[in-house]
Amino acid sequence: MKDFFSPQFDRNKNGSLFDRGSADAYYRRAFEPHWYPEGTYNGEKITNLTSEEIEEYRAGFKYQESTGVFKEY
């Protein structure tokens, strides 16, 4: 897996693979690779991903887990 701090990942775009992975981890949701090309919850939810896209989602998920910061309910 590539370094999750790699500049190749779009860490700031709402709805991106990295964004969705980190959000899912933050909210303690299951690992479910997906993204929204038009921004979070806008347009079609894309789940048919390449291995590279899954890697980007995983990087976001693992990054958030590494921070130890999670939503408190």
- pLDDT digit string (tens) for 39-63? 889 999 999 999 999 999 999 999 9
Alpha helices by DSSP H, listed for the chain, are 17-26, 51-67
- What does pTM read for this prediction? 0.85
* Cβ neighbourhood burial of 68 (10 Å; 0-12, 13-18, 19+): exposed
Hey, where are the domains in the chain? 17-67
Regarding predicted confidence, which is higher, 11 or 16? 16
Among 45, 47, 41, 39, smallest CA distance to 14 is for 39
